[in-house]
Amino acid sequence: MNRLKGKTAVVTGATSGIGLRSAELFAEQGVNLILTGRREERLKEIKLDFESRFDISVQTAAFDIRNRKACESFVEGISVPVDILLNNAGLAKGTDPVDQADFEDWETMIDTNVKGLLYMTRLLSPQMKERGAGHIINVGSTAGHEAYSGGVVYCGTKHAVKAITEATKKDLHGTNVRVSMVSPGLVETEFSEVRFDGDKQKADAVYEGIDPLTAQDIAEIILFVANRPPHVNIMDTVIYPVAQSSATMVHRDE
């Protein structure tokens, strides 16, 4: 059953990977889209593509989610009720241990994964609360359930997303606004290329010898979470590829 047709979703980080594929699955269901990311060209191409294939409206806004003022201007420019906020924009930078890691990488991850997600939630939750309807879906990670060496700050940000999701649900208790989290393991997207500053060889090695999750796998789960009846609130879903059993237990074919 399609409960989403005619609704409006804001998708952050819609220029690639999980965000892009989720946006496309929403579009297939007739959801009007407001898509964000920094790469303006990609947003323009996605808008043209989706509007040519789906009977929906697509708005785009290119801005850096770390910039609070830009988030505020973005939300001020939205003139329709937002039914779904998919807080997906995020990244990892580096795998250096705590005594060697780069301060700027830490700030980038905290400002994007935690503060950016909080800005969007703070700015869009009032209209949801006022209407007594809406759904905030945060993209967490298995790294938000289990910390691993080399991920001191990335894991820290995703543990923060878990805490923020739980507290947001409690803050909005009794309002009918839904709050959910989706927590994937290894998904092959641009994620590892970004983590390793464009080093394709290092990025490919992350997925070598396994059948990793795809953006499609996670988008299908996001769609399922969003499409539940209004009284059903999925709090979290943890998804691993079958070859992965924990953050660091990954079975690779020879």
Active site residues: 154, 158
**Which parts of 125-144 interact with ligand 8X3 (CB under 6 A)?**
141-143
> Given the complex with ligand 8X3, which of 90 and 134 has the nearer CB atom?
90
Give the angle 30-26-28 at the CA atoms, nearest 5°.
55
Radius of gyration from C-alpha coordinates of the chain? 18
| Number of helices and strands in the chain (H, E) | 9, 7
Under rule CB under 6 A, residue 152 binds ligand 8X3: no
C-alpha distances out from residue 171 to 102, 142, 154, 175, Å = 35, 24, 25, 9
Q: Which residue of this chain has its Cβ atom nearest to ligand 8X3 in the complex?
A: 141
186 binds ligand 8X3 (CB under 6 A): yes
- The least CB distance from residue 182 to ligand NDP, in Å, is 8
We find the least distance from the C-beta atom of residue 248 to ligand 8X3, in angstroms, to be 8
Q: Which is nearer to ligand NDP, 84 or 187 (CB)?
A: 187
Does residue 171 contact residue 129 with C-beta atoms inside 8 Å?
A: no
Q: With CB under 6 A, what is the number of residues at the site for ligand 8X3?
A: 7
Cα 30 to Cα 2, 75, 79, 96, distances in angstroms: 9, 22, 19, 43
Applying CB under 6 A, which residues contact ligand 8X3? 141-143, 151, 185-186, 247
